[in-house]
Amino acid sequence: MVVELSDKLLFKQGRQLLRPSGTFVASLPRPTEILFGFANNVFSKQKFAPLGMRARTEVLASLATEVGSGAVEVVIGQTFPLTAYPRGL
């Protein structure tokens, strides 16, 4: 399973990271990505799941517990220095 939280990785790209019957979860999918994803779900074992996301403390705490226990593997594809972010965010 790939859970995309950065809104940078599209399903087309993320499929390469999936196992043959894996699921790609998109936190903020674009409308065209949703259409492509659902059409893909009909014909492929790799599935697309949109997730309208709003941060909730209990969900984030549960996710942190799963990451801490090793049940969820976190793969960091790229890092950026803090100076790369604009001030005021």
Residue 11's domain comprises 2-84
Within a domain: 12: yes
**Who's near 74: CB < 8 A, 6+ residues apart?**
67
Within a domain: 57: yes
Interstrand relation of 2-4 and 47-50 (parallel, antiparallel or unpaired): unpaired
Which tens digits make up the pLDDT trace of 21-39?
999 999 888 899 999 999 9
State yes or no: pLDDT of 18 exceeds 60: yes
Taking all residues of the chain, what is their mean pLDDT, rounded to a whole number? 85
What pTM does this model have?
0.62
Of 80, 82, 60, 83, give the one whose Cα is nearest residue 72: 60
Within a domain: 42: yes
pLDDT for 32 equals 93
Within a domain: 56: yes
Count of structural domains within the chain: 1
pLDDT for 89 equals 44
pLDDT for 27 equals 86
Within a domain: 89: no
